[in-house]
Chain A
């Protein structure tokens, strides 16, 4: 008690009347989370303002509701400004005093955010108390320039065989995950986060999952899954649920990028997943229309491309001089009826360094992940792929694409020559091998060993429909019997002659044992 009294007395003694000067405006009209404000003639774009509910209340009333309501200036007009309300818009009323804060919208960042679930303003929403993050960073900033960047050359393993083999992702890359609803987009992203557990702690990326406009139950389930798999130890979740104001849904990806940049600037690797940018675009459209900005194609505002390009351009691999950190971005876009030529999908496809396209047809056929290999691509990831994976997965993509063509052709012809039949069977086997359930990401050395076995014909003695079960047994066998080889592949990131020899011996033993069993 004494310390509190002393502190208050100290504050009273330090009070100087000069400190009470401020630039203010008055709310002219408010509605739908937007406030029209008179005054604030010197306010800057993206500046924060405070809706001051204490101004025309008694001291007792003001102390009852101490939570400040912030706003973000988004339109500068002739006789005032328009701002979006970042909080309970119902508490903003006509005639309310608004104060300029003189700073751009910033959020707290720091190591202490790891393992936490926060709002786009950096406030904790997981009931675990204050985050303790002290540093403040503006959520909008210019991306790093050419000189500050290095080329993408370190792989980011997703643990998904099909992705790591055919559409490799590098640290600092922007790889879009696109597909209809319910095709497994989030699953790939979550598996990627879970798979980072198998990375050495020193090089393990800090993962930031940004949930935009999602059901809170889905986010809660996802956080529980990450926690149960031990992935929250290196993960931060930023959530702007469907019930949050459009302004927060619009800001959430920028908050995620800001947190990721903090770690990148510390020389660490960070991975940020924006799930999903379609909902962010819809939230931005809503805000823009309410701000009376002119609508363009599909009623999106003219700067919708810039919204996504400035966000995704913040993903980078920094040069050694800048610490060598990286920020990898995995944006997710939801398509309608597989239409990738819609406005937002084409925009984001053109901005990113490649896309993983998930198809509902493949999903319904039972392929997991339902990746359409033909139109999925990684433009920079191959230079970051490990030698081991390059060696084993070199031709898979082409062979699978050929298989898909032959498979389509097969529907019209029952009389197939031997070579075509062999190719089709090989394609079926490969599809089975690349099939992978949700939540079971594989370490990269296991992926390399399995694909090595597939591309070197070790599954050829099994019927395509048996391959799935045999592959599970092979994983188990390799973990037990070939630990040394797997470790050697992991450490050298290559399948060297010696490792290859041992691996072949192990595979031959396995095949011999199982061919006898299944025969």
Chain B
């Protein structure tokens, strides 16, 4: 049952019209009250938080080894279909950049290349 309620709220969150979304929430709360299921509300909120966290994790994300590579990395990632507003600096990449969105990962970092070489040599 919680899954269904969560899905309703997820759909409401997708709506552009905030007043329509508010109306959905109000109706759901009314329904829960009527059905004597208000105690489900904290669980629904927890589930929604998880969904939100998952969406953030799967959102477009670009990392660069050095700040100076940001602009080029964002352009290259956008050309590959991964759009992000800004690039995070991650020195562990050594050089280059990587971008992730949903299921896709594009890795142009020197770290990946070095690991690849290491695996080729040792296996």
Contacts and interface: CB of A to CB of B under 8 A. Distances in A.
Interface residues of A, number: 33
Interface string A92-113: 0001010100000000000000
B15 interface: no
Interface string B95-113: 0101010111111110111
A51 to B, nearest CB: 14
A19 B117 CA distance: 13
A41 B26 CA distance: 33
B107 A39 contact: no
Contact of B57 (A7, A17, A23, A38): A38
Interface string A8-24: 10011001010111111
Contacts of A39: 58, 102-103
A157 to B, nearest CB: 42
A97 B121 contact: no
A58 B103 contact: no
Contact of A59 (B58, B92, B105, B107): B92
A391 interface: no
Contacts of A62: 111, 115
A276 B117 CA distance: 42
Contacts, number: 74
B58 A63 contact: no
A26 B58 CA distance: 8
Contacts of B94: 59
A42 interface: yes
B104 A20 contact: no
B121 A59 contact: no
Nearest to B117: A11
Contact of A4 (B100, B102, B121): B121
Given A4-B121, A7-B121, A59-B114, A22 B57 contact: no
A141 B67 CA distance: 50
A42 B105 CA distance: 14
Given A20-B98, A97-B105, A12 B121 contact: no
A446 interface: no
Contacts of B117: 8, 11-12, 15
Interface string B66-97: 00000000000000100000000000101010
Contact of B104 (A8, A24, A95, A97): A24
A28 to B, nearest CB: 7
Interface string A35-53: 0001111100000000000
Interface of A: 4, 7-8, 11-12, 15, 17, 19-26, 28, 38-42, 54, 56-59, 62-63, 66, 79, 95, 97, 99
User: What are the 10 tightest A-B residue pairs by CB atom distance, in nearest-first order?
Assistant: A20-B107, A11-B117, A24-B105, A17-B108, A39-B103, A58-B92, A22-B105, A15-B113, A23-B103, A21-B106
